[in-house]
A and B are shown apart, each in its own frame.
Chain A
Amino acid sequence: MSDLLRAPAEIKYAEELDWLESIDDNPKPFSWRLSPKMVRLFIVGSERADGLDREIAPKWFGDRSFVERSIVTLASDRGLLLIGDPGTGKSWLAELLSAAISRNSTQVVQGTAGTTEDHIKYSWNVSMVIAKGQSRESMIPSPIMTAMETGTIGRFEELTRSTSDVQDALISILSEKYISVPELGGDQAGEDGDNIVFAKPGFSIIATANSRDRGVNDLSSALKRRFNFVRIPVVTNKKSEAEIVRFRTEELLRRHQIELDVPPTLLDVLLQSFADLRASSAAAGSDDEKLESALSTAEQIGVLEDAILHSNFFGERALTARTLASSLVGSLARREPEDLAILNKYLHGVVEPRSTEEGGSWPEFLEGGRDAIATLS
């Protein structure tokens, strides 16, 4: 799909999904397009032992029990709430799940401070209402309502960013599984029974919430009860993190049609520096001694992307440690004195001894970082 900047998962992996659907002979719940086992296979990738004719690449990296728990939740009566630090791949998992289950991952409501109940339920096409009055025709269903009507998965991004009263609109959707439209009541234009939109089997909601924003608009306990929580941790395992970064970067390079090599040593440098910074953040006593960034895997990919683009368009078409260092400083330094001071301390306290000890790409990395900090401060 070259005419889309970013194709949703169901389009990007359409062919793979079709193939999986064709060989899937396991029982499928409700209107699911794939059986739970196939959904898992689609997301975490195939093994030789699965005995498939073709290899399915893993698309989400992390503990497979999270995926299993998520799938099982969607097959049950409850909604799924993915919760975790920014950049842990919650939204990506949600997209993959809905793409695999209902081949539609675009029924998304984005939770913001400005989200209203209309965005969750329905709104009206005002000019049509004036012309023809209120009817099902002049109603604009929300993505959630569409999902109910079609028996598919609706998504709610950043649930905790929206205000509590808006969140609570989900309660009745999740327990009664219908939305009533009082405007279409019996004496109005609509007929009896037309004023209620019932959910078809297969409907469920995947919400994501940022655990850093938990305090902003905490869920009411009534709503909590209707969601199963799956907590996605920050990846701290170096091996799987390297895998994720490599996977996402390759995808990125393909998207930008860049031919550039990411040397494994530089990847190591990046992973190691993030691990160091995380350790120092964990040890920090106050917020001032901590980088503002959550130092998630997504952040790492961001740094790498930045470095790659920079060296592709302005550099010598080869990724160097120097560019990587300046990208790192550039993306992580957000607050003027504090973050820069931490990075400076990191460069001189950790990188400098290491570059004299280990050599490799570290000396160049150190130099690049110094220059970047000097430019910024």
Chain B
Amino acid sequence: MQPHVQSGEQSGEQPHGPSHEQPFASLRGQLQEAAATFAGGQDALEGILLGLVDDVDRAVREPLEIFPVCHHSPASALAMARRLREKQPKVVYLELCEDMAPLLTELRNCKLPVAVQSFATEIDGFPAEWSPLSVVAPITEASAEYQAIAYALDTPGVELVLVDRSSDHVFQWDARGEQHERTDQAADPDAPPAEEEAALHGDAVGVDIGDLRPRFAELEEHLLRHGRVRHWSEWWHQYVELPLGDSDHDTYRQVMFLIGSLFRRLAPGDPHRVRVDEDRERYMWTRMREHRAATGVDPADCLYVCGAFHAASRVEEFGIEGADTFEISPRSATKWQHGLIPSSHAAIEAQFGLAAGSVSIAATVWAKNVKRTRVQPYRLEGQAGTKKSRAKKKAVAAAPPVPEIEAADRLTGFLQQPPVLDALDEAELRGWSVDVVRAARRNGYLASTADAIAVFETSILLAGMRDRAKPTPYDFQDAAVTCIEKDAVPGRRDVRRIVEIMMGGDRVGQVGYESLPPLARDVHYRLAPLQLPLEKRGVQRALLDIAGRPELEACSDVLWMLRRLLPHGAARPIMGERKLGERSIQESWDLALGTHQRALIELGYEGVSIEQVLEQRLRRTAYAPTATAATVLEAVEDATLYLGSRRLADELGSHALTVLAAERSVDGAPEVLRRVRRLLAYYRTSEPVLPPWIESFVKAGYAHYCTLLPVAFTDEDATVRQVAAMLGFLFSMESLALSLGCDRTQLELAVGQSHPEDPSKTALLWAAQTHLGTLPRAELRSRCDELLGNPLVVPSYPRYLSGFVHALEPVPGLTDFVVEAVSNAFGRLPDPVLLPWLPTLITTLRKDGADLAPLLIREAGRIFPGRLAALDEWVPPWLAQPVVDAARRGGRTGGGAGGGAAHAKRSTLLVAHPQTCDALAGLLGYDGAWASADPGADAGSGTGSGTGGGGAVLVGRHPETAAALGALLGG
């Protein structure tokens, strides 16, 4: 039961309504009666019903012709085309953001649907978290607005004026809370997950011409239930679209006015939304009056295209004679960029909460209607993506403008007519049934001819149950689901989707090359040597033989930058990698630039070339308040890697220095160490001298980490890994830092000041001390033995071990000792301690020590016997040592780790070639003779053992040094 029949029922009695000379007098009378019958007298119902007629009346009387439309309505589009041919207006006012005007002519280069986008990243006057701002207005071919645009742009002497608020005002009037509310409403718990195409608009705010839908849920529910339809699009199709299909202009207008007024009067809805709507109406009328004042155009030559909802407006500013009380607020200082992005039917449906497939179905209906009614639609000259078969359209058949007749009451007749029943088109339905079965088979369903028959039969039965002779596409969809779908297999298209695709499918638009921003065009131009149709959707494989064709290297550079800038999947390397100092000679890529056209276009808003955009982004990351030394170094690396820009790298590097100096935590230490090492290695091999910034960085880092070391050792928040990384930085950069003027004492003091309590950090400290020479290995070994021997400490031994494992990073020379310590742990730790610790060891090695583990394993492989047979007589080297020690007990205990054999070798060497030593002694002024080799000369042993005869003689001869030292020490 549809609304118009209800009022029609009452039409039997002749009204005695107010005797104005108005076209709607009789309708008024009938409605008054109806109100009296149903509600018993003067009350709200009468107010609403008569108000409806008033609205229609006012809109019809407006001297500037208002053309009400509904979005994605083929009937609107058809009526529009017809009206434009008939009236040939000179000025078309269109409800669309006024700042989008310059872009509309670009539409002809694109395959529709595309969306006109306003985009702003540099925002001013809005909360920063709204950034980036984006507004999209999708345009399909089957829409009334496209008809108006095509007519206005391609007919000489016709002006198209966009009158709706600018994109800036969209956000000025935006209450963010409301946005969320609306998306919540649209979320249907049973809805299938969105397809990829549905995300084409990103998170832009959509603006649409002619949004016409009940504003409160109860009304919509009521209409749906009574219309025996499932969603709004279906209701619209059956109760407005079909009856209006071939009606004349007056009927069309009046009915649309009525619907707009109905939704407006019945549903005040969210007050904020109402206010925005009214402000928009004021805005539009103010703009139209301004335009008319400026050009002096006759209202009779104008056409105002707006949503039916806005046509039923009651604001004071309504009409060309309306009040001029509205002041348009100035735009904010936000810098807006404009462009076209590809859109799709699915994206439009998702954005505006329409039923899935409804836009596609509208497109199909439009094509059919155009064919049936032979109305010549307008189309932009050279519109891409359309067939050019129709040769040349006849130079617009300039039908003489029809003289305006006084608008008569067409509503009464329309409201009284019985529901329009579309006759059953058997051939069409049969075609659909066969097609859907074939499509289902292609998608892996077990569907046969029997199913086609069943679908056909079920569609007709379903339509019958829903009071229509002809199955709508929605009935057909239901029938197909009933008869074909047996299983829900994840990853397979469901039948509903198959039907949608069959009904014209999801059409994805494409922005033509000429309408792309310079950046996107530049990218396409630079990738042209690949000889791939990159503008097409889908994934393309690019093979780059750079060694064979050096000109492809430039393409490779572009691709790597795109990979850095575009979302995942737009450019994906399959083979080949880019690291500092490395270049591939062959690369292969999976490119999907066509699919990610929107991302590329939005990149174009940020700059004119990808290099520029990348540079900006790197700068932004590096100078962000949250940037750490590690992230800045990453930016430096990227700048070198992708841009090859020393200038930028130097600038960012210097900034890294300041960031590092301001850092108080050591969280980023491992990352900083890794990156600095990599950069150093790169600069050492590729540059003649190190860039000054990295020298200062090493210097500053050395001092910085020395300062933080004692704190980090005791700080509970700093992990072993971080401390190890600090030590790694200090030890591995030491030689460079010292050569640049740092002082080693600083490090020694820092280590001396460190008193960790945590066992693993203690172990780390011991390792550091060993490296610095303050803790001999023998001592280290005995400390470990003590730990193992003390039953009270044994449980914490594993933690010491993990400290040693981490120590491999700063002190790789300790590897053999770590192997020994681990082996000792396996050999001597009691099982209750050892077993719980094993998983920890494995995870530590896997997580933190991915690059340390190979080191350990190699060392272990060297120490342990390789064959099983050798195991029996194998003695671990650390156990074998006492024997060797005993062998050379007669000699002096040397420093270092060398055994007695090495010691002997050195002595032999000295005896054989005494010249060096003699020369050195001569220089120092010592002229002693060589003693016999046997007692063991100490020339080869390390420092700290030089109290032999030679030394005493030297001091005796030159007492000055010793005296001076004594004076210094003694004070």
**B465→A72 contact, CB < 8 A:** yes
**A225→B190 contact, CB < 8 A:** no
CB-CB under 8 A from B448, the residues of chain A are: 225
**Complex A-B: 26 CB contacts under 8 Å:** A65-B230, A65-B478, A68-B462, A68-B478, A69-B458, A69-B462, A69-B479, A69-B481, A69-B482, A73-B458, A76-B457, A76-B461, A77-B457, A78-B454, A224-B486, A225-B448, A225-B450, A225-B451, A228-B458, A228-B483, A229-B482, A229-B486, A230-B482, A231-B488, A233-B190, A237-B189
A73 to B1 Cα, complex, angstroms? 25
The closest CB in chain B to the CB of A233 belongs to B190
Judge whether B547 is part of the interface by a CB distance below 8 angstroms.
no
**B466→A68 contact, CB < 8 A:** yes
B interface residue numbers (CB < 8 A to A)? 1, 189-190, 225-226, 230, 446, 448, 450-451, 454, 457-458, 461-462, 464-466, 478-479, 481-483, 485-486, 488
The closest CB in chain B to the CB of A230 belongs to B482
A40 to B462 Cα, complex, angstroms? 12
Give 10 nearest A-B pairs by CB, closest first. Answer: A49-B1, A72-B461, A236-B189, A69-B482, A224-B486, A228-B482, A229-B486, A49-B226, A72-B462, A36-B465
Judge whether A221 is part of the interface by a CB distance below 8 angstroms.
yes
Known: A68-B466, A72-B465, A230-B482. 9 other contacts (CB 8 A): A68-B478, A69-B462, A69-B478, A72-B462, A73-B482, A219-B486, A228-B458, A228-B483, A229-B482
Residue of A37, A47, A224, A237 near B226 (CB, 8 A) is A47
User: Distance in Å from the Cβ of B675 to the closest Cβ of chain A?
Assistant: 36
The closest CB in chain B to the CB of A222 belongs to B446
A233 to B486 Cα, complex, angstroms? 14
Residue of B226, B483, B488 near A78 (CB, 8 A) is B483
The closest CB in chain A to the CB of B225 belongs to A47
**A229→B461 contact, CB < 8 A:** no
A residues 204-255 near B (Cβ < 8 Å) are 219, 221, 224-225, 227-231, 233, 236-237
CB-CB under 8 A from B462, the residues of chain A are: 68-69, 72
A69 to B450 Cα, complex, angstroms? 18
The closest CB in chain B to the CB of A44 belongs to B225
**A236→B190 contact, CB < 8 A:** yes
A residues 71-120 near B (Cβ < 8 Å) are 71-73, 75-78
**B488→A36 contact, CB < 8 A:** no
A225 to B462 Cα, complex, angstroms? 20
A73 to B451 Cα, complex, angstroms? 12
A225 to B448 Cα, complex, angstroms? 9
Q: How many residues of A are counted as interface, with CB atoms below 8 angstroms from the partner's CB atoms?
A: 28
CB-CB under 8 A from B466, the residues of chain A are: 68
CB-CB under 8 A from A225, the residues of chain B are: 446, 448, 450-451
The closest CB in chain A to the CB of B483 belongs to A228
Residue of B226, B461, B482 near A36 (CB, 8 A) is B461
A233 to B192 Cα, complex, angstroms? 13
CB-CB under 8 A from A233, the residues of chain B are: 190
A221 to B483 Cα, complex, angstroms? 14
CB-CB under 8 A from A63, the residues of chain B are: 230
A233 to B191 Cα, complex, angstroms? 12
Residue of B454, B465, B478 near A76 (CB, 8 A) is B454
CB-CB under 8 A from B451, the residues of chain A are: 225
CB-CB under 8 A from B478, the residues of chain A are: 65, 68-69
Contact flags (1/0) for A22-52 with B, using CB distance below 8 Å? 0000000000000011001000000101000
The closest CB in chain A to the CB of B467 belongs to A37
A236 to B461 Cα, complex, angstroms? 29
User: Distance in Å from the Cβ of B838 to the closest Cβ of chain A?
Assistant: 26
CB-CB under 8 A from B483, the residues of chain A are: 78, 228
A227 to B464 Cα, complex, angstroms? 21
User: Distance in Å from the Cβ of A24 to the closest Cβ of chain B?
Assistant: 14
CB-CB under 8 A from B486, the residues of chain A are: 219, 224, 227, 229
CB-CB under 8 A from B454, the residues of chain A are: 76-78, 228
A125 to B295 Cα, complex, angstroms? 100
The closest CB in chain B to the CB of A36 belongs to B465
CB-CB under 8 A from A40, the residues of chain B are: 465
CB-CB under 8 A from A229, the residues of chain B are: 482, 485-486
**A221→B446 contact, CB < 8 A:** yes
CB-CB under 8 A from B190, the residues of chain A are: 233, 236
CB-CB under 8 A from A75, the residues of chain B are: 461
The closest CB in chain B to the CB of A51 belongs to B1
**B458→A76 contact, CB < 8 A:** yes
A231 to B486 Cα, complex, angstroms? 9
